[in-house]
Amino acid sequence: MEKNTMKSGSCIVIRDKQVLLVRHTYGAAKGKYLIPGGLSENGELPNRTAEREVFEETTVKVTAKRLVAVRFTPEEVWCIFDSEYISGEPKSDFLENDSAIFMDIEKAIESEEVVETTRVLIKSLLILQRRSNVRNKIQKKALQK
């Protein structure tokens, strides 16, 4: 039996304590904000998909960094990356979304306008960043001894 799995990628883009979000125009997330992302093109790696989709949906350039989450079903694999903001101001593509914005992180985590999955992913990334910062401080102290 031949299986065909859809692959997709997204980036969590944080700049100046704000997170990049798009308001979807279709599907279950219609009218709600979520992180930008989408389906991979044939042969495309998920990190490159995430970078391309962020740019296509928002005109913001990013580099996908650390893989922070993977959601999968028998039909789909969705890879979510932390990213480095490179340049650009968000502009809607007016196809898949009707708004592209940087929203205050705390507001995004609390807002019912943001889909639950996105709120959980943002919280998870913040926890990972805090742990990484603590680990870096410990390593730096150990090297100074």
Q: What percent of the chain lies above the pLDDT cut of 70? A: 89
The answer, yes or no, to whether residue 142 has pLDDT greater than 50, is: yes
Span 57-71, pLDDT tens digits: 999 999 999 999 999
- For residue 121, the model assigns a pLDDT of 96
Given a cut of 80, whether residue 24 has pLDDT beyond it is yes
pLDDT digits (tens, 9 = 90+) for 88-113: 999 999 999 999 999 999 999 999 99
Question: 98: Cβ–Cβ under 8 A, 6 or more apart, which residues?
Answer: 23, 25, 92
The total number of structural domains in the chain stands at: 1
> Quick one: pLDDT at residue 1?
43
Give the helix/strand (H/E) hosting 96.
none
Residue 109 lies in a domain: yes
Q: Per the domain annotation, does 76 fall within a domain? A: yes
Does residue 94 lie in a domain region?
yes
- The answer to whether position 103 is within a domain reads yes
Query: Is 83 a member of any domain?
Result: yes
Q: Give me the percent of the chain exceeding a pLDDT of 90.
A: 81
In sequence order, what are the beta bridge partners of 79? 9, 70
Report whether 98 contacts 92 (CB < 8 A): yes
Residue 1 lies in a domain: no
- The domain that contains 78 carries what CATH number? 3.90.79.10
pTM recorded for the entire structure:
0.88
pLDDT, the chain, mean: 91
**Higher pLDDT among residues 144 and 58, named by residue:** 58
Of 74, 5, 82, the closest CA to residue 37 belongs to 82
Question: 118 — phi, psi (to 5°)?
Answer: -65, -40
In angstroms, rounded to a whole number, what is the distance separating the alpha carbons of residues 97 and 84?
22
In a domain, 68, yes or no: yes
The boundaries of the domain holding residue 98 are 6-144
Structure tokens at 120: 């959980």
Residue 29 within a domain:
yes
